[in-house]
Amino acid sequence: MSSYAGLNPFMSTSVGENDLWNSASFLDVPYIHSVPFGALRIAVDQVRAQHRSQVRFVRGAGGSGKSHLFARLRRECADRIFYAYAPNPPLQPEALENFILSRFVSSLRHPARNAEGKEAPYSQLRLLAYALLKPVVEQDLTLPELHEAWADIELETRKEMIHQAVQLLEADHPMVPRSVLRCLLNVLRDDKEHLAAQWLSGAAYLTENELKYLNVPEPLARSEMGLVIQLFGKLASQAGSPAVLVLDQLDLVAAQPQFDEMQRLLFSLIDQSENWVVLIGLVAERFAMWDAALTQALRGRIGVPDSNAPLGFRLPVIDMLPVANEQKRLLLNCRLETPELVEQRKKDGITSAIHPLLEEDMDRLTAGGAIFPRHLLAAAAEVYAMRATQTEQAPQPQAVAAPAAIAPVVAGTGPVIPAVVETAPVPVRVVEEAKAVEPSAAVAVAPVAVPQAAPPPTVVTKTPLAEKIDALLQQAVDAAKAEIAPASAIDLGERVRDLIELMVAPPVTISEGDIRKSYDNFDGADRWFEWGGSKVRIATSDAMRGSFIAVLERLKEAGGDTLLLRHDAAPVSGQLTLELLNVFKAKNTFHHMPAAESAILAALGRMLAAQREGSYDQLATEPPATKDNVLAALRNHPLLRGLRLWDMIQKAHAPKQAQAAPPPQSVLSTIARAPAAAPVKPPPVPGAKPPPPPPSQPPTSGTVAKPVGRPPSPPVSKPIARPPGAPLAKPPQGVLRPPMAKLPPPSQGNAA
């Protein structure tokens, strides 16, 4: 393979979360989309100055660069903002606050950036805690200086300073539970930072010992999550930096209950909090649905008065426009200047800054009208692959050594050299060693046409779609494994829905279970999935102690068609919990999902969201990366088909087979094997007198004499059924037999 084929800089056509947080690998052309980026910076500066929350809708087609713009904002302004990225929210409206809080805290746990654009040795969350600690510090220190000094302070002094800071925050925010403020400042303690961040994110899987170590009574309640989100905005205002919340990939938000919950969240960030910049990324058709669904009350808070707009207010929209010709060349040049390509050219002694592309390729790519960046990159990736293949197949220079290889000449002309086809971009040099030919000899020889060697056909190689999807899936899995905090049980439920909708032939009917109806603090998902004439119930929960017991109690009547999922980060303990779980597992299925399997599901969710955004439409693959082809490639991927979870789902969904009845027996065998029938006693006649006892006489054949003159033995209280014994011999006449116990009728055999 050519050394350039594996260095194609145009294969990445979208910005994922890994690119968002890894600023070292972020390739950017500031000139492109400079106008919408300037509008975003103006909104951030206004919120920093006024502390009044603002909302902006970033509208653009798939591939227009919305996610790239959000990544640029984080890279350029990260030293002056608290940045959170929350793509692909859940479909359950009641789970939105939990999702926003967990993604906000997870984002704040990424490293902060200093004024020079480099990553700081502390996270954004720790930076916020330092800002809240400053009022109790006696010296006027900058936050980086405070971080350096904090390591030299004794542990007891740190505890006292944190306690004083909590008291000050309580005075400013009396409605906030003390446990929230304590955990927020406990991120400054190295031994508690990880647990405190998990608690603040709403994690329900902390054990009793971990809660005791944090000095909090229980996990963060669902009713308090909205309050904590509002608190983060106010605390960021105290720190002097806006809180930027990016809601991206909202393509599945289409139902009115989802719009209502989104509006409630925005109302709370505007009316009950402050200092928020909420950026909502939407494609054009989805924005039209938002524009029609938002109420006049919200439009009046975030919109611009306009008599021609619906309800009198125009929503604040930032449009993403296609790139023009001069911007196209800037984008191509930026990609062609990657360090790997520059090093390979230097190694090969090539001075062209666009090699292996040619100038004619650049002209062709930059010609025509405006185009979206993703489409341009996809076209450039195909041209690059073609040129890299030509570089590999270019013929080596060969010398013409014999006169026989020279074509005969025509009188009055010089020697005719066969044409040598040069395959760009590798130059081919032909060495001529032809001897002089006398004119007389030349005239005697008739000219003969020499066939010219045809140039090798140019083969445009396209990456197989299955291979490309495999590479993208592996990248998404690696990015999911690198996440600082594990996904919540709600996210797990969403990813299971993605898996079923992908792997199952439509239609799939999805309905909500009843756990949330009877248990408000339910931390996960509960859904019924029906297809192919059968259905399966899938519930997820990472709760601990009483909360998990409440979930198990609501699942104890499940009839063998239920699958309960739980991350392995959430242990199972407690005698009552284990007893209820064993009762559940007696008929149903429980799966403690390992982190590797969770990462695969998270990667699937990201790829499906990117596909819905149109991120793969312009890939140069064979077959083309259409929606159906991409989904088929994912459906057949061994990493997904080999998931243990998928195997469990199929087994739980399989129709339950009734117990097979024993094969019918023939009449003869039934009579031969049947035990001797007991004499049927006629039912008593009401009002009839009992028959008189028979006179004493010797027992006849088949009867047993009742003893005379001895009282009967007391009846046995708990008879034991025994198999029939061998027939007894007749006792001799005149010999009394021991009395026999009177057995109760069969209907009373279990009476106790």
pLDDT of 656 = 66
Quick check: 438 pLDDT over 70? no
What is the per-residue pLDDT across 611-636, written as a single tens digit (0 to 9) for each? 988 888 878 789 999 999 999 999 99
Q: How far apart are CA 362 and CA 734, in angstroms?
A: 126
pLDDT of 119 = 86
Element spanning 554, H or E: helix 545-555
Q: How far apart are CA 331 and CA 341, in angstroms?
A: 15
Bridge-based pairing of strands 111-113 and 463-464 is unpaired
- In contact, 195 and 206? CB cutoff 8 Å: yes
What is the per-residue pLDDT across 449-500, written as a single tens digit (0 to 9) for each? 545 555 454 445 678 999 989 999 998 999 888 887 778 899 999 999 999 9
Say yes or no: 521 and 578 in one domain: yes
- In contact, 631 and 469? CB cutoff 8 Å: no
Is 666 part of any domain?
Answer: no
Helices (H), 394-488: 439-444, 465-481
Give the SS3 label for residue 526. Answer: strand
Number of domains in the chain: 3
Quick check: 684 pLDDT over 60? no
Q: Which of 653, 688, 722 is the last residue of a domain?
A: 653
Q: What percent of the chain has pLDDT over 90?
A: 56
Q: Which of 605, 626, 653 is the last residue of a domain?
A: 653
Q: Inter-axis angle of helices 644-653 and 595-612, to 10 degrees? A: 80
Quick check: 509 pLDDT over 60? yes
Say yes or no: 156 and 106 in one domain: yes
Q: List the single range of 233-247, 371-385, 432-446, 449-463 with lowest mean pLDDT.
A: 432-446
Say yes or no: 309 and 372 in one domain: no
Say yes or no: 110 and 217 in one domain: yes
User: Could you tell me which residue, 546 or 721, shows the higher pLDDT?
Assistant: 546
Q: How far apart are CA 579 and CA 552, in angstroms?
A: 10
Q: How far apart are CA 98 and CA 225, in angstroms?
A: 6
Is 728 part of any domain?
Answer: no
Nearest to 318 by CA among 35, 46, 62: 35
Nearest to 484 by CA among 199, 86, 108: 108
What is the per-residue pLDDT across 304-352, written as a single tens digit (0 to 9) for each? 998 888 888 999 999 999 999 999 999 999 999 999 999 999 999 999 9
Q: Which runs of E-coded beta strand occur in 321-473?
A: 463-464
Say yes or no: 336 and 215 in one domain: no
**The domain that contains 175 carries what CATH number?**
3.40.50.300
Say yes or no: 108 and 249 in one domain: yes
- In contact, 525 and 540? CB cutoff 8 Å: yes
Is 573 part of any domain?
Answer: yes
Is 737 part of any domain?
Answer: no
Is 180 part of any domain?
Answer: yes
CA distances from 438 to 207, 417, 450 (A): 101, 17, 20
Give the SS3 label for residue 218. Answer: coil
User: Could you tell me which residue, 18 or 652, shows the higher pLDDT?
Assistant: 652
pLDDT of 414 = 40
Say yes or no: 233 and 118 in one domain: yes
What is the per-residue pLDDT across 241-288, written as a single tens digit (0 to 9) for each? 999 999 998 888 889 999 999 999 999 999 999 999 999 999 988 899
What are the φ/ψ torsions at residue 109 (nearest 5 degrees)? -80, -5
Q: What is the pTM of this model?
A: 0.76
Q: How far apart are CA 3 and CA 702, in angstroms?
A: 104
Quick check: 442 pLDDT over 50? no
| Tokens 């990248």 belong to residue | 475
Nearest to 556 by CA among 537, 536, 582: 582
Q: How far apart are CA 28 and CA 667, in angstroms?
A: 88
Say yes or no: 627 and 569 in one domain: yes
The DSSP secondary-structure symbol of 369 reads: S
Say yes or no: 341 and 372 in one domain: yes
Give the SS3 label for residue 313. Answer: strand
pLDDT bin (cut points 50, 70, 90) of residue 118 is confident
What is the per-residue pLDDT across 463-475, written as a single tens digit (0 to 9) for each? 899 998 999 999 8
pLDDT of 419 = 38
The residue type found at 389 is T
pLDDT bin (cut points 50, 70, 90) of residue 408 is very low
- In contact, 549 and 580? CB cutoff 8 Å: yes
Is 89 part of any domain?
Answer: yes
pLDDT of 400 = 40
Length of the chain: 752
Is 494 part of any domain?
Answer: yes
Q: Which of 264, 299, 319 is the last residue of a domain?
A: 319
Domain encompassing residue 386: 329-395
What's the chain's average pLDDT?
Answer: 81
What are the φ/ψ torsions at residue 540 (nearest 5 degrees)? -125, 140
What is the per-residue pLDDT across 132-180, written as a single tens digit (0 to 9) for each? 999 998 778 888 899 999 989 999 999 999 999 999 999 999 989 999 9
pLDDT bin (cut points 50, 70, 90) of residue 391 is low
How large is the average pLDDT for residues 58-64? 91
Is 458 part of any domain?
Answer: no
Give the contacts of 440 (CB within 8 A, at least 6 positions apart).
none
Provide the 10 A C-beta neighbour count for residue 38: 11
Give the contacts of 144 (CB within 8 A, at least 6 positions apart).
114, 120
pLDDT of 510 = 95
- In contact, 63 and 615? CB cutoff 8 Å: yes
Secondary structure (H, E, C), 266-298: HHHHHHCCCCEEEEEEECHHHHHHHHHHCCHHH
Say yes or no: 362 and 494 in one domain: no
Q: Which two tokens stand for residue 379?
A: 């076209």
Say yes or no: 335 and 310 in one domain: no
Say yes or no: 475 and 560 in one domain: yes
Bridge-based pairing of strands 54-59 and 317-319 is parallel
Quick check: 548 pLDDT over 90? yes
Q: Which two tokens stand for residue 615?
A: 């991120």
User: Could you tell me which residue, 418 or 540, shows the higher pLDDT?
Assistant: 540
pLDDT of 16 = 78
Q: What percent of the chain has pLDDT over 70?
A: 77
